[in-house]
Structure 1
Amino acid sequence: MPLTLYYHPLSSFCHKVLVALYEYAIEFERRIIDLSSETDRAELRALWPLCKFPVIVDHANPQGLPESSVIIEYLDRFYAGQHCLLPSDWNTALQVRLWDRFFDQYVQAPMQRIVADRLYAKNDDLSAERATLMTAYGMLERQLASRSWVASPTFSMADCAAAPALFYANNVLPFPEDCRHLNAYFDRLTQRPSVLRVLEEAKPWFAFYPFAEAIPERFR
């Protein structure tokens, strides 16, 4: 196979890339990285010295390509065919990139700090992280008031970013009930075949997730 993905099935940023790969229907080899294994860490570090996943290797150009958004842009350029996740229209593509960054920076980042706090029993003050998530939920509620997908008329890279970010964020700080557009969007995302496949593959690993008890029964 021309592509190898270095990843972990529980990682939200890896989920983002997996959703894109399944949307594109691209065949790829899987290399699960256990960060507790020095052998695995050394293998990943050789590709990306920061030792973070996901990293993808295109064996036609065997240099590790890191960062979920960069990976998806690469796949969109060289492997997408007719099914692109980056719109050809510049203005729409700009919105897709904006909302992709929004999910990474303002949903994933505070969510991951909350998860890490429980994982390492730090008991830090996380009021700022929760406030950021609530602000993000409010912004999404307004953004989604008149659209099915967050940044484009069709499913895009921004929705690939949204799926894992919102799945895990909803566990650590549930969406307000009155955010009906956000809740409806989350339902659309989690009914998408590519997203369902990612969540199904993650099931065996959910027991290691610090908020496992908060995962809705329908996803277990």
Structure 2
Amino acid sequence: MALIMYLHPLSSYVQKAKTGFYEKGVAFETQMLDGTEPVASEFAALWPIKRFPVVKDGEELIFEATAIIEYLEARYPDTPRLIPDDPMKAVQVRMWDRFFDNYVNYPQQRLVYLSIGREPDDGEDGAKWKAAFDEAYALLDRRMAEREWVADEFSLADCAAAPSLLYADWTYPIPRNYQNLWAYRDRLLARASYARALDEARPYRHMFPLGAPEGRD
């Protein structure tokens, strides 16, 4: 029985999970969550929290993109590894995975929500979230000075980084003088697994609330 992912392709967390699937070569089916029936009701009954992606594998239900990739690691141990077997290296991968979700994705979402009125106006044009971006961008530029990927090899952390940095730059542009960070972002967007997930989201780019800028993929 094939795994089934409930998703919308524009979601950064969906793209993160898809990148894990494509890196590992694990087949899956999709159920599109665009508000239409009967899939919307089916998903609500399956997962009342109604946040995606969620993967169904027979009777197993796996939610949250990080946990989905962890599940693939356990379920398909003979596929390319996204979390190292070495426990100390695995700590680094998991730590940087959380960095991208908490310190890049989170402020990005707050700025978007501010812009569309889903979060109360802070009267400061999102200054604290922009400051968080400034710190994250500077740290990442230093981190990537002599690295190809954020940990030793392409990993779970890079699956998180790719959509995080795509949408972060769309929301609060990465300064051009951060050449190491830009080079890393370019490598992520060129990675076949993420490029595939990104291509699948292209028909929905018009739905990004701030507008998808030209020339920044």
Q: TM-score range by the shorter chain?
A: over 0.9
State the 1:38 CA deviation. 6.7
Q: 1:115 aligns with which of 100, 112, 115?
A: 112
Local SS of the residue matching 2:5: strand
Name the residue aligned to 1:205.
204
CA contact (8 A) 1:6 1:31 kept: yes
Local SS of the residue matching 2:121: coil
Taking every aligned residue pair, what percent have the same amino acid on both sides? 43
**Which protein, 1 or 2, shows the higher relative CO under an 8 Å CA cutoff with sep ≥ 6?**
2
Could you give the per-residue CA deviations for residues 90-118 of structure 1, whole angstroms, max 9, x where no partner exists?
11100100000010011111101112222
Name the residue aligned to 1:141.
141
- CA root-mean-square deviation: 1.7
Q: Structure 1: how far apart are the matches of 2:56 and 2:105? A: 24
Name the residue aligned to 1:69.
66
Deviates more, 1:7-16 or 1:116-125: 116-125
Local SS of the residue matching 2:69: helix
State the 1:202 CA deviation. 0.6
Are residues 14 and 110 of structure 1, via their aligned partners in 2, closer, same or farther at CA, if it must alter by over 3 Å? same
**TM, length-normalised to structure 1:** 0.91
CA contact (8 A) 2:22 2:193 kept: yes
Q: 1:87 aligns with which of 84, 87, 104?
A: 84
| 2:54 pairs with 1:55 | yes
What amino acid does structure 2 have at the position aligned with 1:129? W
Q: Structure 1: how far apart are the matches of 2:2 and 2:37? A: 26
Are residues 51 and 102 of structure 1, via their aligned partners in 2, closer, same or farther at CA, if it must alter by over 3 Å? same
Any unmatched runs of 5+ in structure 1? none
Q: Structure 2: how far apart are the matches of 1:56 and 1:99? A: 23
What amino acid does structure 2 have at the position aligned with 1:140? L
Q: Structure 1: how far apart are the matches of 2:45 and 2:118? A: 31
Name the residue aligned to 1:96.
93
| 2:4 pairs with 1:4 | yes
What amino acid does structure 1 have at the position aligned with 2:100? F
CA contact (8 A) 2:62 2:68 kept: yes
Local SS of the residue matching 2:173: coil
Deviates more, 1:7-16 or 1:110-119: 110-119
Name the residue aligned to 1:13.
13
Could you give the per-residue CA deviations for residues 59-101 of structure 1, whole angstroms, max 9, x where no partner exists?
2xx1321011011000011125240100011111001000000
**TM, length-normalised to structure 2:** 0.92
What amino acid does structure 2 have at the position aligned with 1:74? Y
CA contact (8 A) 1:12 1:164 kept: yes
Taking the TM superposition and a 5 Å limit, the aligned residue runs for 1:25-40 are: 25-34=25-34, 36-37=35-36, 39-40=38-39
How many residues align structurally?
Answer: 214
Name the residue aligned to 1:217.
215
Any unmatched runs of 5+ in structure 2? none
Q: Structure 1: how far apart are the matches of 2:187 and 2:142? A: 17
Q: Structure 2: how far apart are the matches of 1:82 and 1:119? A: 41
